[in-house]
Amino acid sequence: MNLILFEPAETSRPLPRTDPRAAHILTVLRREVGGTFDCGLVNGPRGKATLAALGATTLTLGFAWEATPPAAPAPITLILGLPRPQTARDLLRDATSLGVAALHFVTTEKGDSNYARSSLWSSGEWRRHLVIGAEQAFDTHLPAVTHGQPLAAALAQLAKKSTRLALDNYEAPTPLSTCNLSGDKSVALALGPERGWSPAERELLRANEFSLVHLGARVLRTETACIAAIALIKAKLGSL
């Protein structure tokens, strides 16, 4: 953890020793009473925490917050065909580390419907991977996340004034690297499931003003393609 995140309600009560953050403070950071470490409020400011007291079962912490909040996330929304759970974990963590604003995991014609029923989603585990990604990036912002809605529903929620791009290995005429992106507009990037978009989904994307683009001749894993595309878009937006 480069930054330890806390929910606002947690800052007013002791931290149990059984909490993984307590173990990190004591065994990895090796803080003793009076020691400080970097912390943040989820979707709030960063600051410094002080280990004020060490009890048998709890840690008592004090917090001092910075006046200037972290920079806002890049105006990038990802629309992702629901991948297998382990891939989704990687995407949740790494897309958060890269600072995207939102992730929508959608059902698709060629996707496996069982992925939507994974305990990753039903147990709320997915949010933990956002926190890990933010802590890695020394940031406090967690992206908005939805899962299990149809592609059409996710498209209907997009900002009207946005650049819309969909990765496609089959019909995309244009490399993503040549797209002209404006730093004052948000970007929606759609990536299909492992087997790609169906013909009907391509037509739906085109009808919603998406341009089909590609990352070159090589076929990449979903998580690799996602990271490469985000990096290209952020570089073009001047936020990398």
pLDDT tens per residue, range 102-137 = 999 999 999 998 999 999 999 999 999 999 999 999
The predicted pLDDT at position 238 comes to 82
Asked whether residue 8 carries a pLDDT value surpassing 90, the answer given is yes
The predicted pLDDT at position 145 comes to 97
Asked whether residue 240 carries a pLDDT value surpassing 70, the answer given is no
- Quickly state the pLDDT bin for 182 (edges 50, 70, 90): confident
Tell me the pLDDT tens digit for each residue of 19-32. Answer: 999 999 999 999 99
For the chain, give the mean pLDDT.
94
Dihedral sign from CA coordinates of 131, 132, 133, 134: positive
Structure tokens at 186: 């948000």
Residues 1, 97: Cα–Cα separation, whole Å: 12
Q: pTM of the predicted model, to two decimals?
A: 0.93
Tell me the pLDDT tens digit for each residue of 185-222. Answer: 899 999 999 899 999 999 999 999 999 999 999 999 99
Q: What is the helix, strand, coil percentage profile of the chain, to 5?
A: 35, 25, 40
> What are the structural domains, with CATH classification, of the chain?
4-65 (2.40.240.20), 76-237 (3.40.1280.10)
Structure tokens at 83: 């991948």
Asked whether residue 74 carries a pLDDT value surpassing 90, the answer given is no
The predicted pLDDT at position 177 comes to 93
Q: Which residue has the higher pLDDT, 187 or 239?
A: 187
Calculate mean pLDDT across residues 164-187. Answer: 89
